[in-house]
Homo-oligomer: A and B are copies of this chain.
Amino acid sequence: MTTLIIAEAALETVPCEIINHPAVRNHARRLGLKPSETLLDRSYHHAAMSKLQDNGRRGRPDIVHFALMEALGTPLFLRGMLKVYVHTVNDRLITIADNLRIPKSYFRFEGLMVSLFRDKVIKSDEGRVLMEISDGTLADLVNAIRPSRVIGLSRTGIQGTAEKAVAENLADDGCCAFVVGGFPRGHFSESTTRLLNLTYSISDIGLEAHVVIARVLYECEKFLLEKGIHHEGDEKRRQVGT
């Protein structure tokens, strides 16, 4: 199984230091929520965020939204051949269920994330777990999923293409974890870098996380299709002619 990890993602609820800032309180009131329940979001909290440590890498839930939209819209995910996780800047781990459809409307995505941070789990009407959040570092996640290789994508990596990053690392069974940063600027932290077997820079222009994800997952799909590897579910669908 191929794995995508969106790491150090700029996704969190408003931290207590700025909970009483007018920008935070006004936005919470508009949403009908307590300030502590709302997502930290530079679009609304720019003025309040200047007081926060490391604020240039925080408060960008839109990056996670785009990254998830990109990953969850690929045939690789739709065919059950991709696991997706989000590791946040504050060491929370979000597990995404197979076949999850993420809301395309940012307004609905925001509501979903608010519920997730509050209730720690999102279930379907039938009780199936769709998303879960728990405390844990990226190292905890890598230890739990034990991929054969952990490959970072970052401008600090060795020069290469997405095709090369995939061909050199993806096992024939698709087993490999690709790690893409979910923050607006800067590079992976030292603790993330330590977990990576290798890091590739797939463009000489800095790319948004979602563009990197689109390219790497597309190359994974091409690589696996060329090897004639399909998921069992896919095989079953073909057999029943659907």
What 1/0 flags go to A53-80 for Cβ under 8 Å of B?
A: 0000000101100100110011100110
Smallest beta-carbon distance A198→chain B, Å: 22
Instruction: Decide if B105 touches A203 in the complex (CB within 8 Å).
Output: no
Instruction: Decide if A43 touches B107 in the complex (CB within 8 Å).
Output: yes
Within 8 Å of chain B (Cβ to Cβ): is A139? no
A66 and B104 contact, Cβ closer than 8 Å, known pairs A73-B211, A214-B218: yes
Residues of chain B contacted by A108 (CB below 8 angstroms): 43
Instruction: Decide if B106 touches A69 in the complex (CB within 8 Å).
Output: no
Inter-chain CA distance A134–B75, complex, in Å, is 36
Inter-chain CA distance A210–B60, complex, in Å, is 20
Give the residue name and chain of the B residue nearest to A184 (CB): B104
Instruction: Decide if B214 touches A105 in the complex (CB within 8 Å).
Output: no
What 1/0 flags go to A75-107 for Cβ under 8 Å of B?
A: 100110000000000000000000000001111
Smallest beta-carbon distance A182→chain B, Å: 13
Inter-chain CA distance A62–B102, complex, in Å, is 13
8 Å CB contact of A207 from B43, B69, B73:
B73
Residues of A in contact (CB 8 Å), total 30
Inter-chain CA distance A37–B84, complex, in Å, is 39
Given A60-B104, A75-B205, 5 other A-B residues pairs in contact with their CB atoms under 8 A: A30-B30, A69-B210, A73-B208, A105-B106, A218-B218
Inter-chain CA distance A214–B211, complex, in Å, is 7
A205 and B78 contact, Cβ closer than 8 Å, known pairs A210-B73, A214-B218: yes
Inter-chain CA distance A74–B210, complex, in Å, is 10
Instruction: Decide if B211 touches A70 in the complex (CB within 8 Å).
Output: yes
For the complex of A and B, the 3 pairs showing the least CB-CB separation, nearest first, are: A214-B214, A106-B106, A43-B105
Within 8 Å of chain B (Cβ to Cβ): is A187? no
Inter-chain CA distance A218–B215, complex, in Å, is 7
Instruction: Decide if A105 touches B75 in the complex (CB within 8 Å).
Output: no
A203 and B43 contact, Cβ closer than 8 Å, known pairs A69-B66, A104-B63, A210-B70: no
Give the residue name and chain of the B residue nearest to A107 (CB): B43
Smallest beta-carbon distance A181→chain B, Å: 15
Inter-chain CA distance A208–B75, complex, in Å, is 10
Inter-chain CA distance A66–B109, complex, in Å, is 14
Residues of chain B contacted by A211 (CB below 8 angstroms): 70, 73-74, 214
Residues of chain B contacted by A105 (CB below 8 angstroms): 41-43, 62, 106
